[in-house]
Amino acid sequence: MIDNFESCYRAARSRDARFDGWFIVAVTSTGIYCRPSCPAITPKRRNIRFYPTAAAAQAAGFRACLRCRPDAVPGSPAWDARADVAGRAMRLINDGVVDREGVSGLARRLGYTERHLGRLLVAEVGAGPLALARARRAHVARLLVETTRMPAGEIAFAAGFSSIRQFNDTFRAVFSTTPTALRRKGVRLQRTGPAGISLRLPRRAPFDGEGLLRFLGERAVTGVEEFSGGTYRRTLRLPHAAGVVGISNTEDHVRCDLRLEDPRDLGPAVERCRRLLDLDTDPVAVAEVLGADPLLGPAVRATPGRRVPRTVDGAELALRAVLGQQVSVAGARTLAGRLLGRCGDPLPGSLAGSGEGLTHLFPAPAAVANADLRGLGVPGSRAGALRDLARVLAAGEVSVEPGADREETGQRLRALRGIGPWTASYIAMRALGDPDVALASDLGVRRAVERLGQQGDPASVTVLAERWRPWRSYAIQYLWASLDARPSPKKGAVA
């Protein structure tokens, strides 16, 4: 349980939605756990317990509230920002690693024994890997029960359960109801086609969705991405098969339309879309630091809720970052399009028609490592750097996925030919989700600082950026956005 009872109780009593996802409110008199903003009457103090995760509350014998849906909230910002083993483990579990590779696979990725990892997670988040994965499967299953007409057997398989019995038992334990009863109560959203689902992704306010989607749209690679009518669409390379997603912002949530070849990819697809949009961050915490800064304060107040555009595929982002070094955004798109034509995988026929411009999956690292890069339009040294990066990514010698050790990954990237501090830092910001990347040498950042009346040399920007810790990655977004033409012609955010 969480020790800081008074702070949590004040948040629950005020029904402060900002804390949804930060912790769970469990009520001993009812046996139910809720989100802090649950509209029900606040229970008596003696009947309340606080837990860091839904899995911890479930392990203590509580079941989910069907009124406030505590599993359908933004994730805890702590797990997204933390670089320690617990944070890395939570990101991997949310991506479905335990379902695909077991606890042994999770432990192997993190470099710990299963036993030690289990003790660490119980101490940090109140539940072990299996319990955390079970809570995730229950959430995915509920989504499928309420938003599709898939039979129960298919839902159990898609959500990662090993049997119908396990699926039903988990449903009763977590929701105190059956899948059939929950489906009757649920509101079915419109399906988008075969294996297609429309979802509402929760996010914390304020949220600059328009600016975020425009950033992604400006960098859209024809064939893989498209942006029109306020909707960003792209193809997805997922653990079991391919998918296509369309994302648009609404007044109180993000709409996510998914089409999947394999329903088992629903959980990872949703998690990667959330990661792409940085939905689990705490914008109020960011604004408290950056909004008080005399340089950035006006921009933060004018456009609250900026996010760091992330990625659905760390390897893709890393390859595009190297490919787009020292060129404009338009030039980077052109080069990525040429690479796509040489070694991209055509979108499967079952997903055809998902978008007029969506035709391919971005090339996998192994394909790039073996591709003929002559005539691509980049210097030979950069082609060599691209091939070397693709080779180590394909071999698993460098990981740029959410569970990677950020410091170790940065060191290994900088050790590769043609990858310097800027590129490694840019990958850390967008692929690894590091919230505190400075990019002091970036020409766009330096120009923005100069326009704001400060010295723009890297040393001066480095000193200035100390005021923006631990949210320097978010400060960069405000600086880039302050330029009339974002980003700069060279060394800008081109990937």
Tokens coding 426: 């840019």
Spatial CA neighbour of 42 closest among 21, 19, 16, 23: 16
pLDDT averaged over the chain? 90
Q: Is the pLDDT of residue 46 over 90?
A: yes
Q: Is the pLDDT of residue 494 over 70?
A: no
Query: What pLDDT digit, counting tens, does each position of 350-405 carry?
Result: 887 666 689 999 999 999 999 999 999 999 999 999 999 999 999 999 999 988 99
Q: Give the 3-state secondary structure of residue 321.
A: helix
What would the mean pLDDT of 37-66 be, rounded to a whole number?
Answer: 92
CATH number of this structure's domain 5-64, picked from the four choices 3.40.50.2300, 3.30.460.10, 1.10.150.120, 3.40.10.10: 3.40.10.10
Rounded distance between C-alpha atoms, residue 200 and residue 72, angstroms: 9
- Binned at pLDDT 50, 70 and 90, residue 181 comes out as confident
pTM: 0.89
CATH superfamily of the domain spanning 77-147+150-185:
Homeodomain-like (1.10.10.60)
pLDDT computed for residue 63 by the predictor: 93
Q: Is the pLDDT of residue 192 over 60?
A: no
Q: Is the pLDDT of residue 48 over 70?
A: yes
> Which residue pairs, CB below 8 angstroms and at least 24 apart, start in 387-391?
388/416, 388/417, 388/418, 389/318, 389/319, 389/322, 389/365, 389/413, 389/416, 389/419, 390/319, 390/365, 390/366, 391/365
- Binned at pLDDT 50, 70 and 90, residue 283 comes out as very high
Query: What pLDDT digit, counting tens, does each position of 329-340 carry?
Result: 999 999 999 999
Q: What positions carry a catalytic annotation?
A: 34, 442
Query: What pLDDT digit, counting tens, does each position of 391-445 carry?
Result: 999 999 999 998 899 999 999 999 999 999 999 999 999 999 999 999 999 999 9
More confident residue, 451 or 350: 451
Question: What length does the chain have?
Answer: 495
Domain boundaries, the chain: 5-64, 77-147+150-185, 198-481
Q: Is the pLDDT of residue 2 over 90?
A: no
Q: Is the pLDDT of residue 20 over 60?
A: yes
CB 33 within 8 A of CB 70: yes
- Binned at pLDDT 50, 70 and 90, residue 455 comes out as very high
Q: Which stretch of 120-134, 136-150, 280-294 has the lowest confidence by average pLDDT?
A: 136-150
Domain 198-481, architecture per CATH: Orthogonal Bundle (1.10)
Extended strands (E) in 194-316: 196-201, 225-228, 231-237, 242-249, 254-260
pLDDT computed for residue 193 by the predictor: 45
Q: Is the pLDDT of residue 243 over 80?
A: yes
Q: Do domains 5-64 and 77-147+150-185 have the same CATH topology?
A: no
More confident residue, 186 or 219: 219
pLDDT computed for residue 183 by the predictor: 84
Percent of the chain at pLDDT exceeding 90: 73
